A and B are shown apart, each in its own frame.
Chain A
Amino acid sequence: MNYVLLQAANGIVVGLIYALSAAGLTLVFSVLKIVNFGHSVLYMLGGYFAYYAIQLLGLPPPLAVVAAMALLFVLGIAFERLFLTPLYSDRVERKDEYAIIVTFGLFMLVENLALVVFGPFNKSAPSFLRGALHLGMLAITYDRLIAAAGAALLLVLLGLFMTRTMLGHVLDAVSQSRDAAAIIGIDPQRFYSIAFGIGSALAGGAGALIGPIFTLSPTMGDLPGVKAFIIIVLGGMGSIPGSIVGGMLLGLVEGLGVALYPVPDKALAYSSAFGALLLVLTLLIRPTGLFGRRHVRME
């Protein structure tokens, strides 16, 4: 029973961080109508940027997370300007395929570049705070608690940003209809850049927060990347609240799936399969997910 509880608690912590990364992915989808298949390498870069900010610049860990996010914001916009602008004109006939291929190229480029630059060996990011919180029989490390709190804070800020600020409203308007937004004087292109920048920064923030919990490696984003896909499908593509609920749900399903799978020695090997199965079933049974709007595509 304790094992199940511990799995559930860990599932929620990790789920929050995945939700943060997925929120970035879903924001990009809602505004640009593309799935960024390079999202996972942005997450990985966030982890490494924070690590080097601490090691080389001597920044305190919380500031390093912010620095990593800022850097990814800029990188995200640079990529969007250089490679995604053809999507906004009629130069590209099949926008869905174009976006998949070019973001998948980003994935290959950055992941392999990371192997060259950062090396294939795992690095462990410095701890936010050593020790663990004991709750009865449960022990949760402070690193996990801080990462979860950081992710929750960023998600709340994102929610406030989207609902309470002018910029957030504009992004929402562009996501609902590019043409209608253009008619009332919004330049959609500017907000595509901003949305992609914010989406990249959120991926980077998630990677920076998870650094002290897991180790850093060039492929550290691969599985969380797949999880982010699962979450946005589960929550409904383009829905930020959906990505939060989806993230928690996924963490819980994987944690409990491992704890309850009938063949214990194979349960761990299948932990990612439970989530992937969830994605397959969601797309088959309810393609709009829990909170999604109807299918949306680039016009």
Chain B
Amino acid sequence: MPASQSPLTLAGLAILAAAALVFPWRASDYLLHVTTISIYYAMLASSWALLAGYAGQFSFAHMALAALGGYSSALFVQYTGLPVPVGMLAAVLLPAITGGLIGWLCLRMSGPYLALFTLAFAVIFQLILIAEYEFTRGSLGLEVAPLFGGRAEHLYYYTSLLLLGASLVAMQALVRSRVGLFLQAIREDEDAAEACGVATARFKIMVFTLSSAVAGLAGAFYGHYVGILTPNIVTIPEMGLIVAMAVIGGIESLAAAVIGAIVVYIASEELREFGQLRFVLLGLAIMLTQRFAQNGLVAPLIERLGPRRKGTAEAVDDKAVSGA
């Protein structure tokens, strides 16, 4: 059941959208670049939050799936000579299928088992990227055809905004539908959900597929924007950045993860002179947020500002608990 939006919220969203649209005219090229990259991270953090926070499937494979999207789009364009947008769309299929496959294989795994499985997947995938250098150019990095010719920071920015918007609409549609309730029920108590007649297998595969497709799309965009892909995308620190963004924002809310990602990334770019110390703080922030504010720092703010929902999440909580 879609929650009805109050006029106030709609007005707020409209102002936000307008600000995002005029932003390029006011910002320097550097800030625009940083913002575009932060939107790439926002796609990753929100799709990871859908999987890990919303459906409770903690995966370390997210960056590997983003890299899969990036590399397959780059190689597809390189070998077929088709236009880049075609490659990007085609390349979303591979991470989506792979993600769905992981979801299917991991149906019986939960918590630490799933985390370990996906971590091993990421390790293997990174080693393949390094070892198969005939195709991937290994650690040297694969040069990727640009999406737009010449200096086109504005175009890249708008494209990233479009992709983020489309991904959020798709994910939000899932979350707002009955499936969203089923996913929350699976997160709270999978056995109880199953006992209540929720087809847990189907929805777990579904959420893995969608979240991986968004990750793949983000990866494909990143490759064609930055122009080079290296196996470093799959490293643990990079995955840690995604986890930090989602956890600090609020792992159970897509919007909070988006804001968390943009704030964390831009802050970390602005504080570049502090070098590694930024990541020390990020680690500390993960631990402290988790310890003292498990809903994240942004999500409670959104709750307060946003419309009063008719207790949909609580209803499911109660249902899952009473069924346990």
Listed in ascending order, the chain A residues whose CB lies under 8 Å from chain B are 29, 34-35, 37, 82-83, 86, 92-94, 96-102, 104-113, 115-116, 222, 226, 229-230, 233, 237, 266, 269-270, 272-273, 276-277, 279-280, 283-284, 287, 295, 297
A273 and B124 CA atoms in complex are apart in Å by 5
29 interchain pairs, CB-CB under 8 A: A29-B112, A34-B112, A82-B291, A94-B187, A97-B56, A97-B251, A101-B247, A101-B251, A105-B244, A105-B290, A106-B283, A108-B283, A109-B287, A111-B283, A112-B276, A112-B277, A112-B283, A113-B283, A226-B119, A230-B120, A237-B113, A269-B127, A269-B131, A272-B127, A273-B124, A276-B121, A276-B123, A277-B124, A284-B105
Interchain CB contact under 8 A, A96 and B283: no
User: Quick one: which of A97, A107, A233 has the most chain B CB within 10 A?
Assistant: A97
Q: Which residue of A lies closest to B278 (CB)?
A: A112
B237: chain A residues within 8 A (beta carbon): 108
| In the bound complex, CA of A112 to CA of B241 (Å) | 13
A107, B283: Cβ atoms under 8 Å? yes
Provide the bound-state CA to CA distance between A249 and B236, in Å. 25
For B187, the chain A residues whose CB sits under 8 A away are 94
Contact A108 B58 (CB under 8 A): no
Complex: how many Å from CA A29 to CA B112? 10
Q: State in angstroms the CA–CA spacing of A109 and B237 once bound together.
A: 11
With known contacts A34-B112, A283-B117, A102–B244 Cβ distance under 8 A: no
**Cα distance, A229 to B268, chains bound together (Å):** 31
Q: Are A106 and B287 in contact (CB under 8 A)?
A: yes
A289 to chain B, nearest CB (A): 11
Interface membership of chain B positions 105-119, coded 1 if the CB is closer than 8 angstroms to chain A and 0 otherwise: 100111111011101
**Chain B contacts of A283 at CB under 8 A?**
109, 113, 116-117
A226 touches B123 (CB 8 A): yes
Query: Is there an interface contact between A96 and B112, defined as CB atoms closer than 8 Å?
Result: yes
Cα(A277)–Cα(B117), bound, Å: 10
Residues of B within 8 A of A101 (CB): 58, 243, 247, 251, 286, 290
Question: Which residues of A sit under 8 angstroms from B121, Cβ to Cβ?
Answer: 276, 280
Residues of A within 8 A of B119 (CB): 226, 229
Given A83-B287, A273-B128, A116 contacting B109 (CB threshold 8 A): no
Tell me the dominant secondary structure on chain A's binding face.
helix
> For chain B, what secondary structure do more than half of its interface residues adopt (helix, strand, loop), or is it mixed?
helix
Contact of A269 among B123, B130, B243 (CB under 8 A): B130
Contact pick for A108, options B117, B130, B244, CB 8 Å: B244
Chain B proximity of A211: nearest CB distance (Å)? 22
Question: With the chains together, A102 CA to B112 CA distance in Å?
Answer: 13
B227 interface contact, C-beta 8 A: no
Nearest CB in chain B: distance from A152 CB, A? 26
Cβ distance A106 to chain B, nearest Cβ, rounded Å: 6
The reply to whether A279 and B290 contact each other, CB–CB distance below 8 Å, is: no
Known: A97-B58, A100-B111, A101-B247. A270 touches B127 (CB 8 A): yes
Contact of A273 among B58, B115, B123, B244 (CB under 8 A): B123
Q: Kindly identify, within residues 247 to 299 of chain B, every residue whose CB is under 8 Å from any CB belonging to chain A.
A: 247, 251, 275-277, 279-280, 282-287, 290-291, 294
Given the known inter-chain contacts A272-B127, A297-B111, please indicate yes or no for A116 contacting B294, CB distance below 8 A: no
Give the residue name and chain of the B residue nearest to A84 (CB). B291
Please, which residues of chain B bring their CB within 8 A of the CB of A86? 291
Q: Which of the residues A35, A110, A272 comes within 8 Å of B115, measured between beta carbons?
A: A35
Identify the 3 closest CB pairs spanning chains A and B, nearest first: A96-B111, A109-B283, A108-B283
Say yes or no: is B24 at the interface (Cβ < 8 Å to chain A).
no
